[in-house]
Amino acid sequence: MPRLLFYGAISLDGYLAGRHDELDWLHATYLGEAGATTYDTFIETVDTLVMGRVTFEETMRSISLDDWIGERSIIVFSRNTDYVYDDERVTIVHTDPIAYLIALQSEDDAGDIWIVGGGQLLNPILEADLIDEWWIQIAPVLLGQGKPLFEVGDYAKRLEFVNSTQMGELIELHYRRK
């Protein structure tokens, strides 16, 4: 059974992106001499990426699909029923994310699933208690405003600490569901 995973960076005050979805603060974060992160190890377990339309569009502005996902597939949830993207690796879904993800998790031959982004897509996933593991990188930046990782919701949880890793200026916290 595939695991649902969260892997992402936030500012010290909890924002995934600035007010206008900008990520310049993250791109300017020093990752150490070799630029080493846990990303390469993490992405090897992932078959499918899941995100909302805004996260997908912002990501596509800064990196090509080939460079980012290779042969993996992406599921993009969108409330805009006219939204399309012309690439066989990208599936646009206009239905309930929770029911879709539960069905996806029941596929035994599927690899792990990476939840990319936060906010409107992440909250219902949290409320349904579907995330198995968390990798959160914290950058030494205070944004003061922007797109928060966590919105207000009904998802109080206690997680199990796995480890922490320093990557240049970033500190990564790894947790799993208890």
pTM (2 decimals)? 0.90
**pLDDT at residue 108 greater than cutoff 80:** no
**pLDDT at residue 38 greater than cutoff 90:** no
- What is the model's pLDDT at position 64? 84
**pLDDT at residue 14 greater than cutoff 70:** yes
Architecture of domain 4-177: 3-Layer(aba) Sandwich (3.40)
**pLDDT at residue 32 greater than cutoff 70:** yes
**pLDDT at residue 156 greater than cutoff 90:** yes
Domain boundaries, the chain: 4-177
- CB distance 172 to 135 below 8 Å: yes
pLDDT, the chain, mean: 91
**pLDDT at residue 144 greater than cutoff 90:** yes
**pLDDT at residue 34 greater than cutoff 70:** no
Over residues 64-85, mean pLDDT = 90
Lowest mean pLDDT among 54-58, 94-98, 124-128, 129-133: 54-58
> Which is nearest to 87 in space by CA: 97, 98, 76?
76
Give the position of tokens 């599936």.
91
- What is the model's pLDDT at position 12? 98
**pLDDT at residue 171 greater than cutoff 90:** yes
Other beta carbons within 10 Å of 34 = 8
Q: Pick the more confident residue, 33 or 167.
A: 167
Over residues 97-126, mean pLDDT = 90
Specify burial of residue 173 (Cβ count, 10 A radius: 0-12, 13-18, 19+).
Answer: middle
**pLDDT at residue 88 greater than cutoff 90:** yes
- Relative orientation angle of helices 119-127 and 97-105, to the nearest 10 degrees: 60
3-state SS assignment for residue 171: strand
